[in-house]
């Protein structure tokens, strides 16, 4: 079996992908033409150029512009089922999709309608594409206390049936001003039974990772690539085996890593850290989940055994039911054998 065939056949789980960032180029073009006043290009070449990011703040601006195109509950549902369709074509079986309720609040979609759309889309994704969808509600950190409150209220009062986690993303440098609000929101979410899965150490140093561990009770961490700058943190992550959801192409596209060949993923594995492989915002970064496995193999030198272990890690770190985990792990083992 060729490497490409092996990667295509590998059962995959996606743990770090954002709803808006998963919108395919044709979907964004359709929405942009429907709302030409939103500043998003309506031509494919121009849109792909629009997705060339100077840095993370510029990426956040582009992301917000695309989010402004999502105006109706039907748009929300279409993004979910579109992601499921794309994952199914790559051997994807399950995804924990990061949804930002505050973004839909800003565009005026009632939260009850967002929840209804997410529930409908999860059912359709499984029925039509064989991909099981769960949700993580994500606070955009730069919007502070208001965003934390709106996200928490939606999670506690009108959650979709498949809500499993509570997250924190956005521009990390702006978080310290709202530290107490985020801690309070996570305390309430965890008390309600939601898993803590914040971003940390993507665009700032190890101190952000320590904060999500100590202040937010992180059970899994988005990105975490800055951990290598702190040997004590590396030792803690090795000992606790807190999963780190790593997104190599994303880190290059947003300027957090200069070249894909410089990505710290291989060293993180050498240090014995628990790593999963993910796509983050795939069409915006011209990648896919399967594409990230190809990057790990061709640019970062990982072999089939290591790729299979990354796939196992994603299953193990997921919030799937144990029976589904066992079945997927057995599939991966059978492919390797």
Q: Where are the chain's structural domains?
A: 3-336
Query: What would you measure as the largest C-alpha separation in the chain, in angstroms?
Result: 54
Residue 25: pLDDT band (50, 70, 90) is confident
Distance between CA 125 and CA 228 in Å, rounded? Answer: 37
Residues 6+ apart with CB under 8 A from 163: 134, 135, 136, 137, 155, 194
202 assigned to active site: yes
Helix/strand/coil for 300 = coil
The 10s digit of each residue's pLDDT in 144-156 is 999 999 999 999 9
What are the tens digits of pLDDT across the range 191-241? 999 999 999 999 999 999 999 999 999 999 999 999 999 999 999 999 999
The contacts of residue 81 (CB under 8 Å, 6+ apart) are: 121, 124, 125, 128, 129
The fold of 3-336 is TIM Barrel (3.20.20)
Chain centre distance of CA 289: 11
Does pLDDT of 18 surpass 90? Answer: yes
Looking at residue 34, what is its pLDDT? 84
Mean pLDDT of 18-35: 88
With a threshold of 0.85, does the pTM exceed it? yes
- Rounded Cα distance between 52 and 247, Å, is 17
Residue 327, class by beta-carbon neighbours within 10 Å (0-12 exposed, 13-18 middle, 19+ buried)? middle
Catalytic residue among 14, 96, 132, 202: 202
């Amino acid at each position: 079996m060729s490497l490409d065939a092996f990667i295509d056949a590998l059962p995959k789980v996606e743990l770090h992908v954002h709803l808006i960032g998963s919108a395919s180029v044709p979907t964004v073009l359709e929405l942009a033409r429907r709302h030409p006043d939103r500043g998003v290009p309506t031509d494919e070449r121009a849109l792909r150029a629009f997705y060339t990011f100077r840095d993370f703040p510029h990426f956040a601006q582009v992301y917000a512009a695309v989010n402004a195109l999502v105006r109706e509950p039907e748009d929300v549902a279409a993004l979910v089922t579109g992601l499921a369709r794309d994952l199914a074509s790559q051997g994807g079986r399950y995804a924990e999709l990061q949804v930002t309720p505050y973004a839909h609040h800003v565009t005026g979609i009632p939260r009850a309608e967002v929840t209804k759309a997410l529930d409908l889309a999860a059912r359709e994704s499984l029925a039509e594409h064989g991909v099981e969808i769960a949700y993580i509600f994500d606070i955009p950190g730069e919007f502070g206390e208001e965003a934390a409150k709106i996200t928490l209220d939606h999670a506690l009062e009108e959650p979709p049936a498949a809500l499993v986690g509570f997250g924190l993303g956005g521009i990390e440098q702006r978080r310290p001003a709202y530290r107490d609000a985020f801690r309070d929101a996570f305390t309430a979410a965890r008390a309600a039974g939601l898993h803590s899965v914040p971003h940390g150490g993507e665009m700032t140093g190890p101190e952000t990772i320590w904060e999500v561990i100590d202040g937010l009770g992180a059970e899994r961490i988005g990105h975490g690539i800055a951990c290598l700058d702190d040997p004590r943190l590396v030792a803690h992550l090795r000992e606790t085996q807190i999963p780190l959801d790593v997104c190599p192409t994303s880190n290059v596209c947003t300027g957090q890593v200069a070249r894909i060949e410089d990505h710290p993923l291989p060293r993180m594995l050498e240090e014995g850290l628990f790593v999963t492989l993910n796509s983050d915002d795939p069409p915006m970064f011209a990648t896919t989940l399967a594409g990230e496995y190809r990057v790990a193999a061709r640019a970062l030198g990982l072999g089939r055994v290591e790729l299979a272990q990354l796939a196992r890690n994603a299953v193990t770190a997921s919030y799937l039911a144990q029976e589904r985990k066992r079945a997927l792990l057995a599939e991966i083992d059978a492919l390797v054998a």
